[in-house]
Structure 1
């Protein structure tokens, strides 16, 4: 079978498993299926190969850390009024771009996905920035793992044909 059909099957089946895991056993840990799906997509954005998992986890986790710190900074910039959050996000974005000088952090979009993932959890659930960081990173790691698993399974399915 073609790789596209193999990916269709593997991603479809593993999406069922991932959703069950996140909405069931991991729900109490505040892990988020939507963050895992972002990391899963990021795995393929980073090349869809085993080394893509490392790039996904490192870059997205770095972005999540910068995002959490940016939210904390916004709280400290209260004197700026309505500009506090925009200035904090701008500083965070600048940090992400500057960090791209390091090869391991060079995939800027992956870092931005992590920033957005932690910010989403903070804004949607009212989670404190540091309390949002660990479940976000856990969701990223599992999402990258599902990316790797779906690529591996698809490779095996495509070879069988």
Structure 2
């Protein structure tokens, strides 16, 4: 079996199982869409152990930057101007941190940032108000992204075994 077919079969089966698990568990801390973002992020960082580390750490960093921007914004008052300032400053910090090798996967950091901001904008009420709600949002995203990275790692290993035979 060729690599693309192997990936299609393995990720298709695993993705179906992950979706079923997310629905049946029904936890606000297991977001299947964010799991798939983390999974893609793993492959975007070239997979293997280094890809897992780079992706997961950058996903976490992005979520931290977004949470900090959201806490600052909600603390000082939400206006379009303040939103632009908080996001702008946090993105400068997010990208400058890429000078550190461990945080150099800028796209993966953006995935963490974007998924955290999206969940806050679309579902913050489910997690509570203020900084504690924002931290719960970021926690849900990080848990889901890390699970996605783990599934990426496992799918790479399983695909490798399937393709070899």
TM-score, normalised via structure 2 length = 0.91
Following TM superposition, by how much is the alpha carbon of 1:51 offset from its aligned partner in structure 2, in angstroms?
2.0
Gaps of 5+ in 1: none
Distance 1:75 1:28 in 2: 26
State the Cα RMSD in Å: 1.3
CA spacing shift, 1:81–1:119, aligned 2, 3 Å: closer
In structure 1, the residue corresponding to 2:10 is in which secondary structure? Answer: helix
Runs of 4 or more consecutive aligned structure 1 residues displaced over 3 Å after TM superposition = none
In 2: Cα distance, 1:62 partner to 1:22 partner: 24
- Kept in 2, the 8 Å contact 1:75–1:84? The answer is no
Residue aligning to 1:112: 110
Higher deviation after alignment, 90-99 or 29-38: 29-38
* TM norm structure 1: 0.93
8 A contact 1:37–1:143 mirrored in 2 = yes
Q: Distance in 2 between matches of 1:131 and 1:111?
A: 18
Q: Deviations over 1:83-124 (max 9, x none)?
A: 111111111110111100100000111101000111111111
2:47–2:156 Cα contact (<8 Å) kept: yes
Size of the aligned set, in residue pairs, is 158
Q: 2:80 & 2:51 partners in 1: Cα distance?
A: 38
